[in-house]
A and B are shown apart, each in its own frame.
Chain A
Amino acid sequence: MTMSPKEIIARRVAKEVRPGSLVNLGIGLPTLVESYMPPGTTAFFLTENGLIGIGAPPPPGMENPDLVDAGDEYVTAVPGASSLDSTTTFSLIRGGHLDLTVLGGLQVDGRGRLANWMVPGKLVAGMGGAMDLVSGARRVIIAMIHTARGVAKIVEECTMPLTSVRPVNLVVTEMAVIEPTSEGLVLRERAPGVSVADVVGATAAKLIIPATVPEYALS
């Protein structure tokens, strides 16, 4: 069975979701994480447009125009869901009530700081909720492809504007799991079939390599 890089990342991140926790998944790759949660793991998913308890997309013809996620896609609300206005939603996000956010990344630097909202010289999209999420969530995991067209995204210093100066907690790519620490970036795990040298070769920041770097499991 061959898995796409995105599936590998989503499956590995899914293992980080604690039962009963409140979790936010960013637009794009991070939304795949829910599909790979271990059976029986129940978490509540928060969308920053104001819902705790996002459910699966509705069947065609059963959409509610007032029930969407932050990516403007129709969703459902699970039993036990609650709806919130923007001030309450972001009080949860900034106030330490959100257990985990999983976001995409453009660059992560040697201190674990993220850039993910603006590419200088390109379209200016705006940061939406990203700055609040990274500054305020209890745990921040970056789910991203390791390189962009062969160019390293894990770098000594971000050349793109930072999202927050708060270091992220974990970076998960299709090649590796990297943990920013006060000593630097620690290579915790490597993907099946990927060597430590492969990871080092695709990374432009110094990595701390422990004596053993196990392969991560994807089941």
Chain B
Amino acid sequence: MKTAQHLDKLVALIPDGATLMIGGFFGVGVPHRLIQGLASSGRKGLVIIANDTDYPARGVGKLIEAHAVKRLVASHIGANPETQRQMLAGELEVELAPQGTLAERIRAGASGLGGILTKTGLGTVIERDKLTVKVDGETWLLEKPLRADFALINAWQADYVGNLTYQLTAQNFNPVMAMAAATVIVEAAEIVPVGTIPPDSVRTPGTLVDYLLERPS
């Protein structure tokens, strides 16, 4: 069983320089309270893997604003001028990845695979410095797996085993990221008694989850 933990205790687990996957898509399905705690903590040198850096004062944008990030892997940074500014100033290293490739690289990391072969990015700037592989006469781009020290996950319901459900478009990267990190920290909209979530509704099995964030007081 997992007991819900205070925000400060969970943030204290994450050291400077850690690699984090953060779920969400433009503010939806984002673990907002965990990010706020991390942004206020003064952490430096984080490596963030996330779909986007949202808007400046929201979601992952808060970590950018706090200068907590040294390297970013994302598919979209266009809504956050501060990400652009730090990138052009050389304060932040940005690796842009096509969204589907990003998801599948995380899935490869989650699933013990050595990489994925895709057509996406072939013949474009994304191909630069990457291997191409010929299989039965057809050329594919090799994309390497991604893993993280921590995943910060937003869920709809959690129980005290750690089983998770998600709601509508708040799923996005959360289920796959919950499988690709050494330590998985979950911020759920509600924590329910064990047995409340029917087995067929569980999207992330509780064995993958390490910590639950307690309800706001």
Verify B169–A85 contact, CB threshold 8 A. no
Q: Which of A35-58 contact B (CB under 8 A)?
A: 47-51
Stretch at the interface among B1-9, B92-100, B190-198: B92-100
Task: For residue A138, give the distance in angstroms from its CB to the closest CB of chain B.
Answer: 13
Q: How far is the CA of A86 from the CA of B78 in the complex (A)?
A: 20
Q: Is B103 an interface residue (CB 8 A)?
A: yes
Distance of A213 from chain B, by nearest CB (Å): 31
Residues of B within 8 A of A49 (CB): 25-26, 28, 169, 172
Closest residue on chain B to residue A164 by CB atoms: B124
- Which chain B positions have C-beta within 8 A of A128? 52, 75-76, 98-99
Interchain CB contact under 8 A, A51 and B75: no
**Residue count of chain B within 8 Å CB distance of chain A:** 48
B158-182 contacts to A, CB under 8 A, are: 166-176
Task: Identify A83's interface contact among B106, B123, B169, CB under 8 A.
Answer: B169
Look across to chain A and name the residue whose beta carbon is closest to the beta carbon of B122. Answer: A165
A129 near B77 (CB under 8 angstroms)? Answer: no
**Chain A residues positioned under 8 Å from B98 (CB to CB):** 127-132
A166 touches B119 (CB 8 A): yes
Q: Mark A96-124, 1 if CB is under 8 A from B, else 0.
A: 00000000000000000000000000011
> B120 on the interface (CB 8 Å rule)?
yes
A87 and B104 contact, CB distance less than 8 A: yes
Q: Using a CB–CB distance below 8 Å, which chain B residues touch chain A?
A: 25-29, 51-52, 74-79, 81, 84, 87, 96, 98-104, 106-107, 118-126, 156, 166-176, 203
10 contacting pairs across A/B (C-beta < 8 A):
A67-B168, A83-B167, A90-B103, A127-B76, A129-B100, A130-B98, A131-B124, A131-B126, A163-B124, A165-B124
